Amino acid sequence: MDEQIKIVQDHYDSDVKMEWDRLENHPIEFILTTKMMDRYIQSGDKILDIGGGPGRYSLYYANKGCDVTLVDLSSGNVEFALNKALEMNVNIKGFAGDAREVDKIVEGTFDHVFIMGPMYHLLEEGDRIKAINAALSLLKEGGKVYISFIFMFAGMIFGMKDMPEMLLLEDEKVFVDCVVNDQSYGGDAFTKAFFISKKDIMPFMEKFPLERMHLFGQEGILAPCEKNILAQPQEVIDKWVEVAEKLCERDDLLSYSEHVMYIGRKL
């Protein structure tokens, strides 16, 4: 295992509840993402969740009657997910391993493959290509793949919401410069992380035998003001989520989201 991957593994092993709590505290991403995925995923379908962390999506779909296999770099995340499955009385299979070698870890073919994690941390394009090709080798023809990226602009949204002084910090200059110059960035962040410019997504995805179905912001338009929206009465929250879902594929609004998902059909 190379040093950069070990840093990411240690980051998640050090606090296995971190990602579970993140989606608990920022539920809009999960709500809008599952609304989109639910259009295609049926009870009984076979799902491979690569880089699924502590299993939020794995457990959600196992609870809906899907046959789910979780693979994650962090053995702590996998153990957490398997324990949660026992608590919820649902069945998932779980394996620790590198997304670039997922085809050596699991066997068979799947109706759906999730890649919601590896694209956040593989800094080199060659490694991202290797991970997606390994995943696609396990996806049946006509099956769906769901690939998430962190937007380059996500760091600016975070700064505006939670750390406005970031623009004054020397360590953040390289990151801000990439935003200003419309470039992607791979390097030091919350751990070793890759942030993608919107303009780089489709040229990258066109390298694979896939038909584009959707490209949508996983928080819709709500990421910059999520705290305010979630503090409102439920009927207000529900209406904002409804509107966000209608707008989540609008190209001019994509950068309101921190995460973006590509859904494609294998040709």
What is the distance between the alpha carbons of residues 247 and 216, in angstroms, rounded to a whole number? 9
Instruction: Look at residue 15 and give its three-state secondary structure.
Output: coil
Backbone angles phi, psi at 145, to 5 degrees: -120, 140
What is the distance between the alpha carbons of residues 210 and 225, in angstroms, rounded to a whole number? 34
Please write the tens of the pLDDT for every residue from 192-227: 899 999 999 999 999 999 999 999 999 999 999 999
Whether residue 53 contacts residue 72, with contact meaning beta carbons closer than 8 Å, is answered with yes
Reply yes or no on domain 3-266 having CATH 3.30.450.20: no
Place of tokens 């962190």: 150
CA–CA–CA angle 137, 32, 87 (5° rounding): 75
Task: Break the chain into its structural domains and give their ranges.
Answer: 3-266
- Maximal CA-CA distance, the chain: 52
Whether residue 246 contacts residue 239, with contact meaning beta carbons closer than 8 Å, is answered with no
> Which residues does 9 contact at the CB level (< 8 Å), separation at least 6?
1, 73, 74
CA–CA–CA angle 238, 54, 189 (5° rounding): 85
The predicted model scores a pTM of 0.96
CA distances, 186 to each of 106, 135, 151, 174 (Å)? 28, 22, 12, 11
Residue 136 CB: number of other CB atoms within 10 A? 19
Residue 40 CB: number of other CB atoms within 10 A? 16
Closest CA to 77 of 50, 52, 98, 101: 52
| pLDDT tens for each residue of the chain, 267 residues long | 688 888 888 889 888 888 888 888 889 999 999 999 999 999 999 999 999 999 999 999 999 999 999 999 999 999 999 999 999 999 999 999 999 999 999 999 999 999 999 999 999 999 999 999 999 999 999 999 999 999 999 999 999 999 999 999 999 999 999 999 999 999 988 888 999 999 999 999 999 999 999 999 999 999 999 999 999 999 999 999 999 999 999 999 999 999 999 999 999
- Give 170: exposed, middle or buried? Use CB within 10 Å, 0-12, 13-18, 19+: exposed
